[in-house]
Amino acid sequence: MIFDVIKKRRSVFPAQYIDTPIAKEDIKKVLEAANCAPTHRKTEPWRFKVLQGEAKEKLGMFLSLKYMETDPSPKQFKAGKLIQNPKKAGAIIAICMQRDPKESVPEWEEVAATAMAVQNMWLCCTQLGIGCYWSSPGLIKHMDEFFHLNEGEKCLGFFYMGNYEGEIPEVERGSWEEKVTWM
């Protein structure tokens, strides 16, 4: 039941991943789920770039070097983590948004549609037993130096995916009732 999958959805981080690749067929299912997201005026603004193998390592090196270049007081620990996290992932999907050239809808709606596509990916991963999370480091503003981005396309972050073992603990959330005003 979909409600059970929604309640099980969790962030699973690279430190929790085991060193096994993600099957290409599973990545295709996740991307197909993303493509089913709602979109205003059918702009379908989501764009994805799948990184596996050596491409993940190149991303990690780029992020680490860019961090060292742009941070006035870089920390060695963070630079190392930027290199290691992509290596630990079974796959990384760069989350991009292509702005409608006609600007027929506000930009926030296209970002929201892309976020809904990512939620579909997350729910699909949960159903498939794949750990994942959305990382949006400040360094994404430099991704046009790493990827070929089309005019109007921007990177919104990275969707890390990895196989894991064991149970992911439940997250305590406040009551939904505290967040609702009935009128």
- 50: burial class by Cβ within 10 Å (0-12, 13-18, 19+)? middle
User: Helix, strand or coil for residue 64?
Assistant: helix
DSSP string, 114-168: HHHHHHHHHHHHHHHT-EEEEE--GGGGGGGGTS---TTEEEEEEEEEE-B-SPP
Q: Give binding residues as ranges.
A: 9-11, 40, 134-136
Q: Which residue has the tokens 């979909």?
A: 2
Q: Give binding residues for FMN as ranges.
A: 9-11, 40, 134-136
